[in-house]
């Protein structure tokens, strides 16, 4: 049982749920899942009693699905800040600046609330009692984000590897490409929405025209 609670707690931390809701813990999250399952079961029973189990199971996992969707949205919102972090650390590593100082500059430049709070905790842990590796590992456990995973690996290797600057440059370029691809997808979605809206407006105008014409023809025939 304790293993399940630990996994739920890790899930809540990695997906930013405990950042959004500081009162949330594994037991309360389980309660939310059960309440969601109960509500969906009642709704399924109202539609068809045979659908109750299906709706109950689906409702049980709705909070998990919402947490995953929320984390993906957070990751998209962090992308520009993560790119800036790669650039800052790369430039300052080339200039011989200590990683700790670079991370503090990253914190000052960061605009995303969740990432900024984690960076502050990272800087505080480094400046107090933790080693760089311990602090970075703890920072990494707060996210489910591929780019942050790679950044943490680079930070852990920064003191021993001479290729840190090149790796950071490559990753910074990769993030730019990901952001560009994401922007193009969003642009395509927006264009499709506009096209659908224009089509609906056209259909609406056409329907009004046909209705008006039909009404006039009916009046003329009745006369």
Q: Which two tokens stand for residue 64?
A: 């998990």
Query: For the residues of 151-183, what is the DSSP string, one character each?
Result: HHHHHHHTTT-S-HHHHHHHHHHHHHHHHHHHH
Summarised one tens digit per residue, pLDDT across range 145-165 is 988 888 888 888 765 555 555
What is the pTM assigned to this prediction? Answer: 0.72
Q: For the segment 28-60, what is each residue's pLDDT rounded down to a tens digit?
A: 999 999 999 999 999 888 888 888 888 899 989
* Annotated domain spans of the chain: 2-175
Report the distance separating Cα 54 and Cα 206, nearest Å. 42
């Amino acid at each position: 049982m304790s293993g399940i609670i630990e996994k739920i707690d890790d899930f809540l931390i990695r997906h930013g749920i405990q950042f959004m809701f500081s009162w949330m813990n594994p037991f309360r999250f389980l309660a939310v899942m059960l309440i969601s399952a109960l509500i969906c079961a009642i709704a399924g029973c109202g539609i068809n009693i045979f659908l109750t189990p299906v709706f109950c199971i689906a409702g049980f996992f709705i909070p998990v699905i919402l947490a995953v969707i929320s984390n993906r949205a957070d990751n998209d919102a962090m992308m520009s800040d993560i790119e800036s972090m790669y650039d800052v650390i790369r430039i300052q590593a080339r200039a011989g600046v200590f990683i700790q100082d670079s991370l503090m500059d990253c914190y000052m430049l960061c605009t995303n609330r969740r990432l900024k709070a984690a960076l502050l905790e990272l800087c505080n842990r480094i400046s107090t009692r933790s080693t760089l590796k311990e602090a970075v590992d703890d920072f990494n456990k707060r996210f489910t984000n591929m780019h942050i995973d790679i950044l943490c690996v680079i930070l852990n290797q920064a003191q021993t590897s001479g290729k840190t600057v090149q790796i950071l440059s490559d990753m910074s370029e990769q993030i730019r490409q990901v952001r560009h691809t994401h922007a193009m997808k969003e642009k395509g979605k927006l264009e499709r929405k506009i096209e659908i809206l224009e089509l609906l407006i056209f259909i609406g105008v056409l329907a009004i025209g046909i209705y008006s014409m039909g009404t006039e023809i009916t009046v003329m025939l009745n006369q």
